[in-house]
């Protein structure tokens, strides 16, 4: 065992390096986790597959020779990196996420895009950037109030080892096993998992039992290779102590706020009972008292998943939480296909108390889909209306909600690798994932942002208790619950059936006579009965309602709800205005003062009478042709509540080429005098006409604007060019924008 108890109450952990030297770390001996439950209950997580999110630095794309963004296999590097995440932090904050979960960061055996095949656990994978890039991204996230969770692996590394023994890789139970060797002598695990004087054989470091034949048998699940990946001998004191040293290093070096831990059930329980307290103690001693660790136990059994939490089952405190797979396996039935009853949700909740450590019971990480599961909208019968309802449930129910990137843009990829689409305008995408997908006015983005705004305003949605008020046992239908915190209540009801249903009177802690308002439609106000109970509530099919006391109601932050051109539009006319529609009347000066375009363009502002719609018209020739235009608004304030935008808004679109008028539209060319020539042409309203010239008729020669542009009238217009502007060897045309 790697731990020795001393009378002083300290535990000494010896970490053996690749040499014969050793060093020791003193930690506090404790079976209890000091994390504040409320801190993480108040968070919501946004999961990112780093390689597929955004390419912020093209120079590192092929750093490991695995860059092939157009490969149909979906298994190569596409270019997303740490700088890309940093450049999109405002998008993430606008969504309302308070934490991001990023892919494993360590260098992989063959430059894998996903990060789950580590070979050098102390080195950042070069295709994601540098250590400094990672540190800077985390600092930028923290500056925006966003926590950063790293996905980590202790169960296995990349596939560098195999055996030439007969029968490999058929599972062999210990003490039997295979002789191990490297596939390629030039590709080996880096220290501390290299062979050395302390570990002369690969079997000192890795299990040699072959593959997993049966996932229902715990022994091969823990000792066998998962998908051929080299399985660490995690019962070894050397492996345990060095796994603690590795992940303590990353906490101390880059400042992670938590770990999502891969393949938890493939590692023996004793590892977690020894490793987790060491990491918790190190984090707490280094300014991270709320460091949060949740595991992936890919299993529908509450008893299995719960066994890895806290002191459940006895022994030292293990993990703070796990991904809520038992709930996930109900969600598709209740929401995506809407074929199952809603009682199964409450049945699942009723199983939590007996199977999970008390500290984990309200902090299970809930989700609709992820990188290992088909996207919600790929499930047969799923619609965006059903997704919106599932999102309402995700963000108002108990647990820590986790959203998989792209779900807020209605991605519908099926199984791995098709559920790992490019979020940026890449080459591995289809349907709703085509193009650039950082669209802040997308309907599902707006749904998530609004739900997170509710969570910011109403604490019961974060840390309140769950009290069931109704479920439908026979099939799709109503599900109702209250989230309560002290005297506050948020009452939620939704209907998974296709037709309207009415919830009968339900008991409540709202005082008799209290007016309660529907957050999703503030014009709907009900009155609590004398009993006290909520009055009957009719809910249309595939919709939901969220009620709070009228006295608790608070206004939402202003957001942009519509824009023209559309996000990621192409061939936008260069003189077309940018039109932004806000959710509320705005302080026009605050909007105009913060409005910026890249590249910078001067222009004029006009507003609708309601002050909720702004039009920016570029001056002169307008935006440059064939250029990506970015428009941003920051810190704008609404005039009703005085609320400021929670995060900057951004719009991107591309201008088109200059459009030339057909020659037949030029009606006359006349010499007015020795100094001026006039060109007449028919015109269209809302078009601008510009004289252009170039030196040759060669198609490679660029047309250049000159003279003054003229707005179309719907009739004949005249453009004038002076002798000074004309050259002897130049060619001319009229262009239309």
Geometric angle at alpha carbon 467, from 466 and 468, rounded to 5°: 115
pLDDT at 667: 59
* pLDDT value, residue 16: 35
pLDDT in tens, 611-636: 999 999 999 889 999 999 999 999 99
> Is 63 among the domain residues?
yes
Confidence of residue 678 (pLDDT cuts 50, 70, 90): confident
Query: In the structure, what pLDDT confidence band is assigned to residue 4 with cuts at 50, 70 and 90?
Result: very low
Query: Tokens for 94?
Result: 């606008």
* Chain centroid to CA 526: 36
In 3D space, the residue among 153, 107, 152, 150 whose CA is nearest the CA of residue 128 turns out to be: 107
Provide the sign of the torsion angle of the four alpha carbons 467, 473, 476, 477, taken in this order: negative
146-150, 237-241, 707-711: least confident range: 707-711
Q: Are residues 453 and 465 in the same domain?
A: no
Region 123-139: mean pLDDT is: 98
Q: Give per-residue burial for 669-698: e unless 16+ CB within 10 Å, then b.
A: eeeeeeeebebbbbbeeebbbbbbbeeeee
Residue found by looking up tokens 């990946």 in the block: 229
Whether the ω angle into residue 599 lies within 30 degrees of 0, i.e. cis, is yes
Separation CA 628–CA 123 (nearest Å): 36
Domain end among 504, 519, 552: 552
State which H helix or E strand residue 143 sits in. Answer: helix 131-143
Whether residue 27 lies inside any domain: the answer is no
30-41 per-position pLDDT tens digit? 333 344 569 999
Distance (Å, whole) CA 417 – CA 55 = 19
Rg of the chain over all Cα atoms, to the nearest angstrom: 31
Whether 333 and 268 map to the same domain: the answer is yes
- Token pair, residue 7, equals 């009378």
Indicate if the pLDDT at residue 660 is higher than 90.
Answer: no
Number of residues in the chain? 737
Torsion of CA 589, 594, 599, 603, to 10 degrees: 0
State residue 706's pLDDT score: 73
Q: Pairing mode, if any, of strands 521-527 and 515-518?
A: antiparallel
Mean pLDDT along residues 720-725: 66
- Would you place residue 10 in the very low, low, confident or very high pLDDT band (cuts 50, 70, 90)? very low
Whole-number pLDDT of residue 7: 25
Mean pLDDT, residues 184-188 taken together? 96
Give the pLDDT confidence of 438-454 residue by residue, as tens digits. 999 999 999 999 999 99
Average pLDDT rounded to a whole number, residues 141-166: 98
Residue where one domain finishes, among candidates 457, 492, 513: 457
With the CA atoms of 458, 463, 465 and 471 taken in that order, what torsion angle do they form, in degrees rounded to the nearest 10?
A: 70
- The Cα 432–Cα 91 span in angstroms is 18
CA-to-CA distance for 230 and 15, rounded, in angstroms? 22
pLDDT tens track for 69-96: 999 999 999 999 999 999 999 999 999 9
- Retrieve residue 138's tokens: 């985390």
Q: Examine the domain organization and report whether 286 and 352 are in the same domain.
A: yes
Rounded Cα–Cα distance for residues 231 and 138 (Å): 30
Q: Same domain, yes or no, for 352 and 222?
A: no
Q: Which domain range does residue 705 map to?
A: 659-736
Report the domain count for the chain.
5
pLDDT at 596: 98
- The crossing angle, in degrees rounded to 10, of helices 237-254 and 131-143 is 60
| Residue 361 to residue 312: CA distance in whole angstroms | 11
Residue 664 confidence (pLDDT): 35
Query: Can you give the pLDDT at residue 34?
Result: 41
Model-level pTM greater than 0.85? yes
Residues 430 and 301 in one domain: yes
Indicate if the pLDDT at residue 723 is higher than 70. no
pLDDT tens-place string over residues 593-603? 999 999 999 99
Q: What angle do CA 713, 714, 716 make, to 5 degrees?
A: 80
SS3 content of the chain, % helix, strand, coil (to 5): 25, 30, 50
Please check whether residues 304 and 417 belong to one and the same domain.
yes
Q: Which of 430, 457, 484 is the last residue of a domain?
A: 457
Q: Which residues neighbour 610 within 8 Å (Cβ) at sequence distance 6 or greater?
A: 585
Q: Which residue's entry shows tokens 């005039």?
A: 639
Distances (CA, A) of 39 to 42, 272, 314, 676: 6, 23, 25, 75
Neighbours of 174 (CB within 10 A): 10
pLDDT at 258 over 80: yes
Q: What is the pLDDT of residues 391-410, one digit of tens each?
A: 999 999 999 999 999 999 99
Residue 699 lies in a domain: yes
User: Which token pair is 217?
Assistant: 């048998």
Residues 353 and 225 grouped into a single domain? no
For the chain, what percent of residues have pLDDT higher than 70? 90
The predicted pLDDT at position 679 comes to 75
Q: Give the alpha-carbon dihedral of 449, 451, 455, 457, to 10 degrees.
A: 80
Return the number of other C-beta atoms located less than 10 Å from residue 723's C-beta.
12
Q: Which two tokens stand for residue 727?
A: 């050259």
* Residues 6+ positions from 607 with CB-CB distance below 8 Å: 588, 613, 614, 615
Helix and strand numbers, DSSP H then E, in the chain: 16, 41
Percent of the chain with pLDDT over 90: 83
| DSSP label of 663 | G
- CA 681 to CA 77: how far, in whole Å? 53
Question: How far is Cα 213 from Cα 177, in angstroms, rounded to an integer?
Answer: 15
Q: Are 326 and 309 in contact (CB under 8 A)?
A: no
Asked whether 569 and 654 are in contact (CB, 8 A), the reply is yes
Pairing outcome for strands 578-582 and 613-618? antiparallel
**DSSP letter assigned to residue 406:** T
In a domain, 548, yes or no: yes
Predicted confidence band at 675 (pLDDT cuts at 50, 70, 90)? low
φ, ψ of residue 5 to 5 degrees: the values are: -85, 140
Average pLDDT over residues 427-447: 97
Res. 350: pLDDT tops 50: yes
What three-state secondary structure class fits 500? coil
What pLDDT is recorded for position 36?
59
| DSSP code of residue 132 | H
Domain-located, residue 16:
no
Q: Domain with 703 in it: what CATH number?
A: 2.60.40
Scan for tokens 């009801």, then name that residue.
Answer: 493
Clarify whether residues 348 and 449 are in a common domain: yes
Q: Are residues 397 and 324 in the same domain?
A: yes
Residues 256 and 258: their CA atoms lie apart, in Å, by: 6
Find out whether 645 and 612 touch, Cβ atoms under 8 Å.
no
Backbone angles phi, psi at 522, to 5 degrees: -60, -10
Region 473-482: mean pLDDT is 97
- Sequence-separated (6 or more) residues with CB below 8 Å from residue 568: 425, 435, 436, 437, 439, 652, 653, 654
- Give residue 698's pLDDT band: very low, low, confident or very high (50, 70, 90): low
Note if the bond before 417 is cis, omega within 30 degrees: yes
CA-closest candidate to residue 403, choices 84, 49, 645, 128: 49
- What does the H/E/C string look like for 68-81? CCCCCCCCCECCCC
Question: Does residue 115 share a domain with residue 205?
Answer: no
Domain assignment of residue 324, yes or no: yes
**In this model, does residue 12 exceed pLDDT 50?**
no
Q: How far apart are CA 215 and CA 299, in angstroms?
A: 10
Mean pLDDT computed over every residue of the chain: 91
According to the model, what pLDDT value does residue 462 have? 98
Cβ-based neighbour number of residue 419 at 10 Å:
23
Is 31 a domain residue?
no
pLDDT at 1 over 50: no
Which DSSP string corresponds to 353-375? Answer: HHHS-TTTTT--EEES--TTS--
Residues 6+ apart with CB under 8 A from 350: none
pLDDT over threshold 50, residue 566: yes
Q: What is the pLDDT of residue 9?
A: 27
> Closest Cα to residue 338, out of 473, 472, 476?
476
Residue 322 lies in a domain: yes
Are 693 and 641 in a shared domain?
A: no
Residue 191 and residue 109 share a domain: no
Separation CA 633–CA 593 (nearest Å): 9
196-220: average pLDDT: 96
């Amino acid at each position: 065992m790697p731990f020795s108890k001393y009378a002083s109450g300290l535990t000494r952990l010896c970490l053996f390096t690749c040499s014969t030297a050793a060093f020791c770390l003193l930690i506090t001996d404790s079976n209890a986790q000091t994390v504040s439950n409320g801190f993480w209950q108040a968070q919501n997580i946004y999961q990112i597959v780093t390689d597929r999110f955004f390419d912020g630095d093209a120079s590192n794309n092929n750093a490991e020779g695995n860059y092939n963004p157009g490969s149909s296999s979906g298994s190569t590097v596409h270019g997303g990196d740490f700088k890309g995440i940093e450049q999109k932090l405002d998008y993430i904050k606008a969504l309302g996420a308070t934490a991001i979960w990023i892919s494993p960061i360590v260098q992989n055996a063959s430059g894998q895009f996903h990060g789950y095949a580590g070979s050098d656990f102390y080195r950042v994978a070069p295709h994601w950037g540098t250590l400094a890039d990672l540190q800077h991204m985390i600092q930028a996230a923290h500056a925006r109030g966003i926590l950063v969770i790293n996905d980590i692996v202790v169960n296995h590394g990349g596939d560098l080892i195999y055996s030439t023994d007969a029968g490999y890789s058929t599972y062999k139970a210990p003490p039997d096993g295979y002789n191990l060797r490297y596939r390629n002598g030039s590709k080996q695990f880096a220290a501390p998992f290299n062979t050395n004087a302390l570990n002369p054989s690969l079997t000192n470091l890795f299990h040699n039992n072959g593959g997993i034949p049966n996932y229902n048998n715990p022994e091969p699940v823990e000792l066998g290779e998962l998908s051929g990946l080299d399985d660490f001998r995690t019962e070894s004191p050397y492996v345990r102590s060095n796994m603690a040293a590795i992940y303590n290093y990353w906490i101390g070096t880059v400042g992670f706020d938590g770990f999502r831990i891969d393949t938890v059930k493939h590692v023996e329980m004793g590892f977690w009972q020894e490793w987790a307290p060491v990491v918790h103690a190190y984090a707490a001693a280094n300014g991270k008292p709320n460091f949060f660790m949740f595991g992936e136990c890919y299993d529908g059994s509450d008893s299995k998943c719960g066994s890895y939490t806290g002191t459940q089952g006895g022994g030292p405190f293990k993990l703070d939480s796990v991904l809520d797979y038992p709930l996930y396996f109900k969600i598709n039935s209740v929401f995506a296909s809407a074929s199952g009853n809603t009682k199964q949700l409450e049945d699942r909740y009723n199983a939590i108390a007996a199977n999970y450590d008390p500290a984990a019971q309200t902090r299970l990480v809930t989700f609709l889909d992820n990188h290992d599961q088909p996207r919600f909208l790929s499930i047969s019968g799923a619609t965006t209306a059903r997704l919106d309802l599932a999102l309402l449930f995700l963000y108002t129910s108990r647990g820590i909600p986790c959203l998989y990137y792209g779900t807020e843009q209605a991605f519908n990829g099926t199984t791995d690798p098709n559920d790992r689409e490019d979020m940026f305008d890449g080459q591995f995408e289809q349907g709703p994932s085509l193009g650039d997908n950082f669209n802040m006015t997308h309907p599902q983005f707006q749904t998530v942002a609004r739900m997170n705004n509710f969570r910011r305003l109403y604490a019961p949605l974060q840390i309140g208790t769950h009290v069931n008020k109704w479920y439908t046992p026979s099939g799709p239908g109503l599900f109702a619950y209250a989230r309560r915190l002290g005297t506050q209540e948020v009452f939620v009801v939704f209907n998974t059936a296709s037709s309207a249903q009415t919830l009968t009177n339900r008991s409540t802690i709202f005082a008799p006579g209290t007016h309660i308002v529907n957050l999703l439609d503030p014009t709907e106000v009900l009155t609590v009965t004398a009993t006290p109970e909520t009055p009957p509530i009719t809910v249309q099919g595939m919709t939901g309602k969220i009620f709070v006391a009228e006295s608790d109601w608070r206004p939402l932050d202003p957001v942009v709800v519509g824009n023209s051109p559309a996000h990621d539009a192409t061939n936008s006319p260069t003189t077309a205005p940018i039109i932004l529609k806000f959710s509320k009347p705005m302080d026009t000066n605050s909007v105009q003062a913060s409005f910026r375009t890249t590249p910078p363009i001067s222009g004029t502002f006009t507003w609708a009478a309601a002050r909720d719609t702004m039009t920016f018209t570029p001056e002169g020739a307008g935006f440059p042709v064939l250029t990506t235009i970015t428009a941003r608004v920051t810190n704008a304030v609404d005039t009703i509540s005085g609320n400021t935008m929670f995060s900057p808004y951004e719009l991107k679109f591309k201008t088109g080429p200059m459009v030339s008028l057909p020659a037949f539209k030029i009606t006359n060319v006349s010499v007015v005098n020795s100094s001026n020539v006039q060109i007449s042409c028919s015109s269209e309203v809302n078009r601008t006409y510009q004289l252009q010239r170039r030196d040759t008729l060669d198609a490679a020669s660029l047309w250049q604007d000159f003279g003054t542009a003229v707005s179309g009238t719907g009739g004949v217009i005249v453009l004038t060019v002076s002798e000074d502007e004309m050259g002897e060897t130049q060619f001319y045309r009229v262009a239309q924008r």
